[in-house]
Amino acid sequence: MNNPTDFSQYISNFLLKYLPNEMGISRNTLLSYKDTFLLLLNFMEKEKHILQIPAV
């Protein structure tokens, strides 16, 4: 990854393109994946000091 936005772009593409279009997952499953990634990113930032998440 060349810059901090690469990771967010990969996650966005995974959630918005790959999962619904290629895998045909339901909306509820997609929301669960989104929540899981948010929990992971918050943990990485707060406990491991690995990255900073920009405020939405």
Q: Block means of pLDDT (10 residues each) for the chain, length 56 residues?
A: 70 92 94 93 86 58
Q: Cβ distance 45 to 52 under 8 Å? A: yes
Give this prediction's pTM. Answer: 0.69
Which among 46, 49, 17, 44 is positioned nearest to 33, based on CA atoms? 17
What is the structure's pLDDT at 7?
81
What is the structure's pLDDT at 1?
46
What is the structure's pLDDT at 49?
82
- Report the C-alpha gap between 33 and 35 in whole angstroms: 5
What is the structure's pLDDT at 33?
95
What is the structure's pLDDT at 41?
86
- Report the C-alpha gap between 28 and 44 in whole angstroms: 24
